[in-house]
Each structure stands twice: as C-alpha cells, then as structure tokens.
Amino acid sequence: MASPGIRYPGRIRIFLVNVARRILPRSTRLISLKFFYFLSDIIFRLLGLADKRLPWRSETVFVGRGDFKEIGQKFVRYFIELGGLQPHDKVLDIGCGIGRMAIPLTRYLDGRGLYEGFDIIESAIDWCQRNISSHYENFHFQWADVFNREYNSKGKFKASRYRFPWADEFFDFVFLTSVFTHMLPDDLENYLSEIRRVLKKGKKCFITYFLLNEESTTLMNFGKSQADFKYHHGKFRTLERDVWESAIAYEESFILHLYDKYRLGIDGIYYGSWCGRKRFLNYQDIVIASKKDS
C-alpha cells in the first residue's frame, strides 16, 4: 500500500481492472487481480513507498476499489458526524474484512470503548488478530464460517440462521459497509433482526446499500450507472446472472419495510454516486437508523 499522498496511477489501475472484469473468466479473475496488485506491492515496497502498517493491496482485493486508508478514514468521519459515534462506545463491525474501518478506529475509541468485528474471510481475520489485536487489547476479531457463494463458498453456517455471538443490547453502535450489497433477502433479514437484538435501545446502526428507487433506476436505464444491475429477481437485482452475491441492489421500499418490521427508525438516508447521481455523499447509499422501544 502506498503511503499518504502516494497512490497507484488511478485511471490506469481502474482501466486495467475493468478490462480484466470484461475479458477474464470468473474463475481466474480474482487470481489475476491479486497477481497484478502483488507486483504493484513489490514495486512500492522496494521503492520504500509502502505504508507497512497497512495490509498489502493484493490482500485487500475482496474489499473493492479505492484507497484503503482514505476510505477507512472517511467512514470513521461519517460514523462520528452522521452516526454520533462516541469514543467510549461499544462498536460492532459486521463484515470487518481486513481492518479497513478498525485501523482508523484505533485512533478514536478510547480505553472505555470496545471494538468487536467478524467476517467470513478467515485470512482477513488472521491478519487483523496479528496486526491489530496484538497492539490494542480492546479490539477483537472473530471468524464466522458463514456460507456465501462469492466469498466463502465452503461455509458451514447459513447466513439466514446465523446468530451473532453477543448478548442482547450489548452494543452502542453497529455498522456494515458493503455487506448487504452481497447478501440475499433471507440472509439480510436475519442479520437485520440480529442487529436489532444486539443493539441497545435508542442506539444507531449504519449500513450501506445499492438502493433501487425512481432516480437510480432511471439513471441505470439511461446508461449513467457505474453498476448495471440488469438481472431482475423481484425485490432485488444482481450484476451477474449466476453468482448473485457478487453485487446486489435492493428495492428501497423493501429495505424500508424491513426497518419498520424490526422497529428501526430511519434517522437519515444519504444516496450514493454508484448510479450516476450528480449530488451524493458516498459511492454506496447509506442508511442510518435507531433502535426503537419494543
């Protein structure tokens, strides 16, 4: 990874990644991208330009595009400014990946605060335990062997039945970044019910989506969207015909129905640029909600 102010040539990298997505078979695409980034990692480290506190870019392929460090810092600002996150809060990071949010949170949460993260990618959890938990005793990471065709095809637990390993009303703040964008409806609904269970009354959850509404679908129809969710499946659409979990967009009305069902009151919806909007906050859409009294 490049140190602050030094990045891979953005347009060239995006061009090569897009070409790879179009021409490479799915079975070899991820391996090819990892190899491309691995060569970049070696060059940057030989030149002394890499930030050794961060994972290699080839280790973060599954977290998506963009600058790893900048995105983490940006979301922590959102958590604080939009979600009201406090330094002493107990935080749950669902789909924590390889520490993109945890790393900047180590500089915000104080000794009274607690961070718990889990992910279905075992290698990411191993990295976080070695490089974060070993230095911050209030940061904990767990591997959840949950099935997902895109990221953990041999997982033994169904996401639709998975119970989070924490007590009721344990957390002050729960967040998911680019998680529900890879989960099917039954899985998403179970996770949302678990979020309500572990969240304290009046406290907030922060979740990103691809939301389908009149504006986003119109922009897609006119070819403005960066993501063309062209395969229709009722209340959701997918980027790919076969592996639906590669990216999923949901009807906004369906998501709002689930929030109402699980007594999560909407505090704000911040729409993203993914569909080609002129005015946006982030790439994906963001929904912030609070747990209502039963």
The residue behind tokens 């480290």 is: 45
Specify the pLDDT at position 71.
92
Whether residues 107 and 215 fall in one domain: yes
**Would 100 be classed as within a structural domain?**
yes
50 part of a folded domain: yes
Q: Are residues 19 and 85 in the same domain?
A: no
Query: 34 with 89, same domain?
Result: no
17 and 73, same domain (yes or no): no
pLDDT of residue 254: 98
Q: Output the pTM of the full model.
A: 0.83
Decide if 212 is inside a domain.
Answer: yes
One domain for residues 126 and 255: yes
Distance in angstroms (rounded) separating the CA atoms of residues 143 and 229? 30
Q: Of the candidates 37, 59, 81, which is a domain's last residue?
A: 59
Q: Name the β-bridge partners of 232.
A: 237
pLDDT per residue, tens digit, the chain (294 aa), is 333 333 443 444 445 555 555 555 555 656 666 655 656 656 666 666 556 666 645 455 555 667 888 899 999 999 999 999 999 999 999 999 999 999 999 999 999 999 999 999 999 999 999 999 999 999 999 999 999 988 888 999 999 999 999 999 999 999 999 999 999 999 999 999 999 999 999 999 999 999 999 999 999 999 999 999 999 999 999 999 998 999 999 999 999 999 999 999 999 999 999 999 999 999 999 999 999 987
DSSP assigned state of 54 = S
Residues 150 and 282 in one domain: yes
**What integer pLDDT is reported at residue 204 of this predicted model?**
98
268 within some domain? yes
Number of domains in the chain: 2
**CATH code, 265:** 3.40.50.150
Q: Mark whether 255 and 186 lie in a shared domain.
A: yes
Q: Determine the 3-state secondary structure of 28 from DSSP.
A: helix
Which H or E run includes 143? strand 139-143
Strands 236-238 and 231-232: antiparallel
Cα(107)–Cα(244) distance, rounded to whole angstroms? 36
Structural domain includes residue 3: no
- What's residue 59's pLDDT? 52
- Domain hosting residue 30, numbered range: 10-59
Per-residue model confidence (pLDDT) at position 167:
98
Does residue 169 share a domain with residue 25?
no
In this structure, what token pair is assigned to residue 157? 């637990």
Single-letter amino acid code for the residue at 197 = R
Q: In what order do the strands lie in the sheet with 211-212?
A: 211-212, 248-251, 236-238, 231-232
Residues with Cβ within 8 Å of residue 84, at least 6 apart in sequence: 173, 204
Q: Which residue has the tokens 């605060």?
A: 113
